[in-house]
Structure 1
């Protein structure tokens, strides 16, 4: 299943949807770039989505990772190897690409899930071709800026497209049923950093935002929900 984007983005973004998680394909002229690589069945879902859009004739040149959680990187090496694509990923989550997790507090639950899940699901370790830091630019899709938004993981990143005023926000928040919420505590390894990351993301000049866990609403609607979440967090912090 795919959803319609803003009219200005028709033909340039493909949302690959799966139960509970999505990932994105960006078309840049005659080349494709992924934002994350999906979870269980992600490769099959990608191939079907590309065929429906008639994008399967274009080469996949790169896979851009938002963070190191298994539901985002399970298929990275498989896709990169199959299509000859490069991998760019946040430097601070390198441990996860090597098949390791070391999350504190409540996030130890996520650590246990990943530890057991990797061998069962056939995760393949990978070394990114490029490790990204805050502010790095990727020369795709008229420019994507890496934005460090820690909290969900230490290295969690969003990707901002200034020419389109669009932010791919990874797992900074989830957006379902008319509201944006923070991810469950068991998946946030540095939760104390999330309010500042929300504030930093909302400081960008935005027309839309695209999270990885969301319903098929357009980017402008997810942004409306995200701004409401930011207001709630700011009010909570001011009352503390």
Structure 2
């Protein structure tokens, strides 16, 4: 079953990255806010679904990378929406980043990209820790899945058995893979985060970087990736 057709989830697609809209009654909630052209793509997607008559009540951020938070301040200001976000990525919301190792490449890309793309710093209304509950969409649980960034989070819906997994993995062309190491602050933590995600009772997963396959297919791909990671020989 394609769960995006249930009528409560809308995937806003863009080249290279997607974000999500959840409908809860007469109010909408975003999972991240997109990258270049995000507000325009959001407007078009809402109009096609005929959701443009509903207000955006809140924005839930998975992590502080620029391709996920570029438009947060603009959209929140337009709709008067609240913002919740992982506590450990707080400096990124202020327009700063200090990534270690290979992720310094991502750090420099963000430092160049923020002024060029017009990033506006923001202050979340609530900083989230692992296990925190957000009272929307029959309840969402913040799930700390570190490795991509220090604070990287997913959002789990127990009522629907779905996980919005942020950048835990990418899912294209019949295969899941980990994000490139230049975007991961602690890549050694990601296999444990994959296991933590799969420990939930799941019917499907919604990644941010993925093809148009339904969420149950992304879940199958992640399980296969977990098996590959478990069988990977140790490196001294």
Structure 2 gaps of 5+ residues are none
**1:12 corresponds to which residue?**
8
1:127 aligns with 2:159: no
1:228 aligns with 2:224: yes
Q: Distance between the aligned counterparts of 2:83 and 2:100, measured in 1?
A: 27
Q: Distance between the aligned counterparts of 2:120 and 2:51, measured in 1?
A: 26
1:207 aligns with 2:207: no
Q: 1:239 to 1:227 in 2, by over 3 A?
A: farther
Q: Distance between the aligned counterparts of 2:235 and 2:116, measured in 1?
A: 45
Shift of 1:239: 9.0
Q: Distance between the aligned counterparts of 1:59 and 1:5, measured in 2?
A: 25
**1:69 corresponds to which residue?**
65
Q: Is the 8 A contact 1:5 1:13 kept in 2?
A: no
**2:101 corresponds to which residue?**
105
**1:137 corresponds to which residue?**
133
RMSD: 1.3
Residue deviations 1:183-211 (CA, integer Å, cap 9, x gap): 00100011111011001001000000000
Q: Distance between the aligned counterparts of 2:18 and 2:199, measured in 1?
A: 25
Alignment: residue pair count: 236
Shift of 1:10: 1.5
Residue deviations 1:132-183 (CA, integer Å, cap 9, x gap): 0000000000000000000000000000000000000000000000000000
Q: 1:239 to 1:152 in 2, by over 3 A?
A: closer
Picking from 213, 216, 231, the partner of 1:217 is 213
Q: Distance between the aligned counterparts of 2:174 and 2:27, measured in 1?
A: 34
Q: Is the 8 A contact 1:68 1:97 kept in 2?
A: yes
1:37 aligns with 2:39: no
| SS in structure 2 at match of 1:236 | coil
Q: Distance between the aligned counterparts of 1:100 and 1:150, measured in 2?
A: 19
1:147 aligns with 2:143: yes
TM-score by length of 2: 0.98
Shift of 1:130: 0.5
Picking from 42, 47, 52, the partner of 1:51 is 47
Shift of 1:5: 3.4
Shift of 1:52: 0.3
Report runs of 4+ in structure 1 exceeding 4 Å deviation. 237-240
Residue deviations 1:51-105 (CA, integer Å, cap 9, x gap): 0000000110000000000000000000000000000000000000000010000
Structure 1 gaps of 5+ residues are none
Q: Distance between the aligned counterparts of 2:41 and 2:146, measured in 1?
A: 29
**1:176 corresponds to which residue?**
172
